[in-house]
Structure 1
Amino acid sequence: MAQVIYIKLKHHKTVQMNEKIYLRDIAWIQADEEVKRKLEQLFVSEVKKEDLTYKVLDIFTIIEKLRKIYPEYEIETIGPAQTILKLQKKHSKIFPLYVVFIWSLLFIGSAMAIVNFHYDVSMEEVQERIHYMITGEKGRSILWFQIPYSFGLGFGMILFFNHIFKKKLNEEPSPLDIEMHNYDEDIRRYVTYHENELVERDED
């Protein structure tokens, strides 16, 4: 019976500049213990400045390296055909100011959107009507209704996005988590497609 090496590439990995990438960093390996230990130490690539933000490692490159070391083994691949390395860049000193600026911009923008929405649907008149239905009185302040409503609006947003700062309320992904996941998947497909396109041009 032929001996087999099973390789499953990871979808992506965040790396640092000049970091050396070994097979254990980008793949799960299943083989004999001695073979597995040796393959985990196999050098694959090094992150350089010219790689910019993304670098794609293709499964064919990995197979080629494995064939040279263990030509008598069969190599079975599982999962994705590429691993995308994303270079983690150092934040500049003005990064905190940038975060505060973006946060303030989003806060003001979302507040204006909520205010304009309430104005468009005549929310104040609706609340006054509800106040009259409950108390039977007109012309009195309805802050007793508006203040809890405002807190409830914020609390509802927390429940909807399932986050309080970095802490999640439960394990269920929020709509924002799903959209960010879809965005990351689109980036991976785009980077992989254009990387393969460049390789094909070089071969031609």
Structure 2
Amino acid sequence: MENTIYIRMRSRIQANPEQSVFLKDIAQIIADETLIGRLEQIQIYQITKEDRNMIVIDVMKVISYIKEECGNLEVQTIGPTQTIIEVIYKKSGVSVPLFALIWFLLFFGSALAIMNFHEDVSMQSVHQKIFSIITGKEVKKPLLFQIPYSIGLGLGMILFFNHIFKKRINEEPSPLEVEMFNYQQNLDQYVIMYENKENQKKLNDY
């Protein structure tokens, strides 16, 4: 145990432009207490202006730096073999007119989509028939059904997405969050495959 270093690479971290990235930033370390301080301060990467917003650090590069610093100690790796560094650049302020335009398009676009769907399935005629069956009266606008239905539609969307504005209703992730997670996983796999310089070297050898 005294001569063995265990490291677990973090899947993704965020960093600022031109920041120095140390081993403690990209990995969890288990080692002898006399080595922890030295290991944590090993500089793995220096972000420069030429770097884009995604950088991939391969575990083999990390092991080589550890060998240079600590000699011939055994290094055991656990978990992911790459860490993605996402460089966070300063974002410009939100444009109020652009925000208003996007909100307008989303609001009325979704409203039109819902109305077109209800028109396609003849929802109004369905309400009229149900109202006629229950009350024995025929009306063109059965508001007794349409108003509760509209309220229920909105409540159903809130329950489906599990959010009221920024407040989560319960700890269960919403379908949208699951899809975003899957998208992020696929994006990370793509970045690891095509942005990792070590993988590119191996591919170019064939």
TM-score w.r.t. the length of structure 1 is: 0.90
- Report the Cα offset of residue 183 of structure 1: 0.8
- Counterpart mapping for 1:117-132 below 5 A: 117-132=117-132
Distance 1:73 1:97, change over 3 A: farther
Q: Which amino acid aligns with 2:190?
A: Y
1:152 maps to what in 2?
Answer: 152
Cα offsets for 1:75-109 (capped at 9, x unmatched)? 00011111001122222234454444333322222
- Report the Cα offset of residue 9 of structure 1: 0.6
Any runs of at least 4 consecutive aligned residues in structure 1 with deviations exceeding 4 A, and if so which?
A: 94-97, 201-204
Larger CA deviation: 96-105 vs 174-183: 96-105
1:198 maps to what in 2?
Answer: 200
1:187 maps to what in 2?
Answer: 187
- Quote the RMSD (CA, aligned, Å): 2.1
Distance 1:42 1:98, change over 3 A: farther
Number of corresponding residues:
204
Query: How far apart are the structure 2 equivalents of 1:97 and 1:49?
Result: 31
Asked whether the equivalents of residues 2 and 73 of structure 1 are also in contact (C-alpha less than 8 Å), the reply is no
Asked whether the equivalents of residues 58 and 83 of structure 1 are also in contact (C-alpha less than 8 Å), the reply is yes
1:37 maps to what in 2?
Answer: 37
Distance 1:98 1:84, change over 3 A: farther
Cα offsets for 1:159-192 (capped at 9, x unmatched)? 1111222222111111111111111111111111
Asked whether the equivalents of residues 3 and 74 of structure 2 are also in contact (C-alpha less than 8 Å), the reply is yes
Structure 1: state its 5+ residue gaps.
Answer: none
1:13 partner SS: strand
Identical-pair percentage? 44
Query: How far apart are the structure 2 equivalents of 1:16 and 1:188?
Result: 19
2:50 partner SS: helix
Structure 2: state its 5+ residue gaps.
Answer: none
Q: Which amino acid aligns with 2:134?
A: I
Q: Which amino acid aligns with 1:31?
A: A
2:2 aligned with 1:11? no
- Counterpart mapping for 1:161-172 below 5 A: 161-172=161-172
Distance 1:58 1:33, change over 3 A: same
2:55 aligned with 1:76? no
1:104 maps to what in 2?
Answer: 104
- Report the Cα offset of residue 12 of structure 1: 0.5
Asked whether the equivalents of residues 2 and 32 of structure 2 are also in contact (C-alpha less than 8 Å), the reply is no
Distance 1:141 1:108, change over 3 A: closer
1:89 maps to what in 2?
Answer: 89
TM-score w.r.t. the length of structure 2 is: 0.89
